Structure 1
Amino acid sequence: MDALLDAVDELHSSPTVAWRVLNLLKDPEFDVRDVESHLEADPALTASILRLVNSAAYGLPRRISSLRQAIMLMGARSLRLAVLSFGLVDRLTRGTPAQVYDDFWRRALTTAVAAARLSREVQRSAADEAYSAGLLADLGVLALAQVDTNRYVKIYTQHSHGTALIEAETSRYGFSHAALGGRLLSRWGIPNPLPLAAANHHLPPVGDALLFQTVYAGTLLADVLWTSGSPLLPQIQAFLERHFDFDLDRFIDLGMECKADIEDAAEMFAVRIEGEIDCRRLRREAAGRFREEAIDTAIDYDGVTAILDQDFSP
């Protein structure tokens, strides 16, 4: 992994400005002037932040052209998210083959907004970290696509994103994109739990750590929301029911909320997402699964009742 990441460093300079700004933002009483002076050293990052604050997500009545004003309007938490997102993701997507680039953004934005939505259900203050973790979870895909382009694009397009892709990556490289993404974040100085969330985003979480639960759920939803007949539908419905007490209606509501959030996020990142989330299709499939489970439960109940009703007397 380290040899491959050395090659990544040759393609992309280390995000020094992003790390300096993130360190400044750790202080609740950060000096706006210090943050501004560091950001000005990275014109691309500055432009991205101004684009964000002027996007529909903020809904400001007039356009903001002052970086200092943007920093004050956004506050530490939102600015930290923007620096993580634009300082890392935007940097690594440059030069990524189209076949991987399009799917990366669809999955990254879906995982991010879904993780944030689920976090707000339990602990509102954790939503920004969940969004960041979801957005950064698949950085390993970008790294592999840029360093071993021809072979990796073939692997990526021939295997479904999940267990099949991880097995193919491990067979070829000795590690998966998830493990590589976690290593990359650690190497760049991002503290846990974000590297751990990236490394384990395809694994069912052990315990009740909210961040890992939401990122894992977002990873499943990145397939289910966009794929007709996704085999992961029963898995995500059962997971959300068990960990977040979601019934069928709340599950559909989540899909609709994510659809709107993804559209806003795509505008914010200035990317185009191919395809569309079909909430009617999602409702039909989810309701169908619900009916099947109800029938299976009824059959099991009837079978047990019949056994109990039997007369076992000699």
Structure 2
Amino acid sequence: MNESGFDRQSTLELLAFSDDLPSLPDRFVKIQQIAQDPDSSADDLAEVIRSDQATSAMILKFANSPAYNPTQTPIGELSKAIARLGSRETVHIATAISLMYGMILPTGMANIRAFWGHAFAVALVCEWIAREADPAEQHCSHERAFMTGLLHDVGRAALGMRVDFSYFERDVGHLRGESLIQAEEVFYGMNHAEAGQRLLQLWLFPDDLSEAVAQHHNPDASPFLARVCFAANTYVNEYLPDRAPFETIHDRVTEAMEASPPDFSSILNQ
């Protein structure tokens, strides 16, 4: 055991302690059920979103943003906002918000917004890369790519919620890339990518998604989804500013990709 008081075995034991396992937010589960139900409608989606004031307000903010409202015609009804955004985009936004407000991370709201804002940005870029590199969905579904990006750092949440409540306040919690991986392995005996895989396995997520999360820091990973997520995460870290307001993430991602599209050639060459 190192001077931090953690080692690999103790970290694994804390992550697997099922009596106190972090759970997926109810709203996340309901939104995914609606998204995967071919018989569901926009009204079903609106009903779930309407039950939460924060989600409803954010959906309206997105619908009235320049990206979705070029004519500057404001709307104030949730049903019209969903119609303007489209069901797919609404599901994406609502899913991200359900995690941001449903998983109580042991840190300030500014850090929580930054954490999930980054995840949302990576998810959007993941989906874009998957559509460009794999238009026929031979390697992965585009929705699976989005979800991989959204959950790629969930291991950091697991470490902060189950292992070390000071995770996000420590220096290690503010690192990125290989520096973060190395610091976590020294401090906890494992990194957040592996922690994320184990949490998703406990949540019974598909193997390809949990494996992609496990390898999202490896540019040479075998799984296509992992390489997509690596490219998206690298792109977001380079082109998007830290701590951008959540409601501006979509616009900022769109502007960045129009100015400098992500290079996904390495994904196709493996």
| Aligned position for 1:236 | none
Normalising by structure 2, what TM-score? Answer: 0.66
Residue 138 (1) aligns with residue 153 (2): yes
Residue identity opposite 1:166 in structure 2: I
Specify whether residues 9 and 82 from structure 1 end up closer, same or farther in structure 2 by C-alpha distance, changes over 3 A only. Answer: farther
RMSD: 4.0
Residue 216 of structure 1: SS of its match in structure 2? helix
CA contact (8 A) 1:36 1:68 kept: yes
Identify if the C-alpha distance between structure 1 residues 20 and 173 changes in structure 2 by more than 3 Å, giving closer, same or farther: same
Q: Which residue of 2 aligns with 1:19?
A: 29
- Number of equivalences: 235
- Residues 55 and 157 of structure 1, relative CA distance in 2, 3 Å threshold: same
Matched AA of 1:42? D
Q: 2:48 aligns with which of 16, 31, 38?
A: 38
Q: What is the rounded CA distance, in whole Å, between the counterparts of 2:77 and 2:186 in structure 1?
A: 50
Comparing 36-45 with 99-108, greater Cα deviation is found at: 99-108
Whole-angstrom distance in 2 between the partners of 1:216 and 1:57 = 26
Residue 204 of structure 1 aligns with an amino acid whose one-letter code is: P
Alpha-carbon distance in 1 for matches of 2:19, 2:117: 22
The offset of 1:107, in angstroms, is: 4.6
Counterpart AA for 1:32? A
Alignment match of 1:199 (pick from 214, 219, 231)? 214
Query: What does residue 126 of structure 2 align with?
Result: 115
Q: Is the 8 A contact 1:5 1:143 kept in 2?
A: no
Alignment of 1:215-294 (within 5 A): 215-223=229-237, 225=238, 259=240, 266=245, 268=247
1:13, distance to aligned residue in structure 2 (A)? 6.8
CA deviations over 1:257-305 (Å, ceiling 9, x no partner): x55xx79x8452689x9xxx9xxxx9xxxxxxxxxxxxxxxxxxxxxxx
Aligned to 1:85: 96
* More moved, 66-75 vs 101-110: 101-110
Higher relative contact order (CA 8 A, sep 6+): 2
Asked if the contact 2:24/2:103 (under 8 Å) is kept, the reply is no
**1:149 to 2:165 alignment:** yes
Structure 2: any 5+ residue segments left out of the alignment?
Answer: 1-11, 261-270
Picking from 173, 182, 190, the partner of 2:188 is: 173
Contact 1:205–1:216 (Cα < 8 Å) also in 2: no
- Deviations along 1:202-253, one digit per CA (max 9) or x if unpaired, are 12344462x3222111233344x2xxxxxxxxxxxxxxxxxxxxxxxxxxxx
Q: Percent identity?
A: 27
Q: Secondary structure of 1:130's match?
A: helix
Deviation, structure 1 residue 92:
3.5
* Deviation of 1:169 (Å): 2.2
Between 1:57-66 and 1:78-87, the stretch displaced more is 57-66
Give the 3-state SS of the residue equivalent to 1:149 in structure 2.
coil
Q: Say if 1:179 and 1:199, in contact at 8 Å, map to a contact too.
A: yes
**C-alpha deviation, 1:152, in angstroms:** 5.9
3-state SS in 1 of match to 2:166: helix
Q: Give the 3-state SS of the residue equivalent to 1:22 in structure 2.
A: helix
Report Cα offsets for 1:78-108 as digits up to 9, x if no partner. Answer: 1221232111134337552589658636753
Q: Which amino acid aligns with 2:75?
A: I
Report the Cα offset of residue 186 of structure 1. 4.3
Provide closer, same or farther for how the CA distance between residues 266 and 133 of structure 1 changes in structure 2, counting only shifts above 3 A. farther
Mapped partners of 1:47, 1:98: distance in 2: 17
State the 1:199 CA deviation.
Answer: 2.0
Match of 1:293 in 2: none
Q: Mark the CA change 1:108 to 1:121 in structure 2 (over 3 Å): closer, same or farther.
A: same
Q: Could you tell me how far apart the structure 1 residues matched to 2:55 and 2:142 are?
A: 22
Partner of 1:162: 177
**Contact 2:117–2:249 (Cα < 8 Å) also in 1:** no
Question: 1:60: how far off?
Answer: 5.4
Superposed displacement of residue 201, structure 1: 0.8
Q: Which deviates the most, 41-50 or 107-116?
A: 107-116
Deviation at 1:118, TM superposition (A): 2.5
